Amino acid sequence: MKKRITQDDYIKANRKASREAEIEMYGHPICHQRVHQSKKVYNRRKIKAADKKLPYFFVIKIASLYLEELKR
């Protein structure tokens, strides 16, 4: 068994304690190295989520306008 604590041991223990504190605080581990996603990228999931917040009659109005354009 080692009698000295090396720098690697110190870093490893610090990371483990930080991760455990993070899980305790948020309930799950947080990723700090996520890749930034451009706002210009097409994302169907976000578009559909935004449409759910619209009132129902607004969606019908858009659909009726679209159908009128197709008939022309």
Task: Please tell me the total count of domains within the chain.
Answer: 1
Closest CA to 18 of 49, 7, 26, 39: 26
Q: Tell whether 50 is covered by a domain.
A: yes
Q: Tell whether 2 is covered by a domain.
A: no
Q: Tell whether 15 is covered by a domain.
A: yes
Q: Tell whether 1 is covered by a domain.
A: no
Q: Tell whether 41 is covered by a domain.
A: yes
Instruction: Write out the chain's pLDDT in tens, 72 residues.
Output: 678 989 999 999 999 999 999 999 999 988 888 888 888 888 888 888 777 776 666 667 777 888 888 776
